[in-house]
Amino acid sequence: QEPLTASMLTSAPPQEQKQMLGKWLLPLIQAMHPALAGKITGMLLEIDNSELLHMLECPQSLWSKVDEAVAMLQAHQAKEAAQKAV
């Protein structure tokens, strides 16, 4: 995919910036978590753009955030399932 740069990002309006970041994040996350990628991308987009840009340059920080998001999502889904079961 086309690389995303900080200058490309900062020249776009704020809503467009999230869209650009999402388009960049989604295929990366899909490779690891195909079923959860849309949700995980949504969670990561709540992070500040400057931090997302850092993650763009540092895959290790991206994967650690993805791991955190997956854990949060699974805990959330387990809680929802437990609430439904009651």
Partner 1 sequence: SNGSSINWPPEFHPGVPWKGLQNIDP
- Binding residues for partner 1, per CB under 8 A? 15, 18-19, 22-23, 25-26, 38-39, 41-43, 45-46, 73, 76, 80, 83
State the burial class of residue 44 (Cβ atoms within 10 Å of its Cβ: 0-12, 13-18, 19+). buried
User: In angstroms, what is the minimal distance from the CB of 51 to partner 1?
Assistant: 15
**CA-to-CA distance for 14 and 17, rounded, in angstroms?**
5
Please identify, using beta-carbon distances, which residue of 60 and 81 lies nearer to partner 1: 81
User: In angstroms, what is the minimal distance from the CB of 17 to partner 1?
Assistant: 9
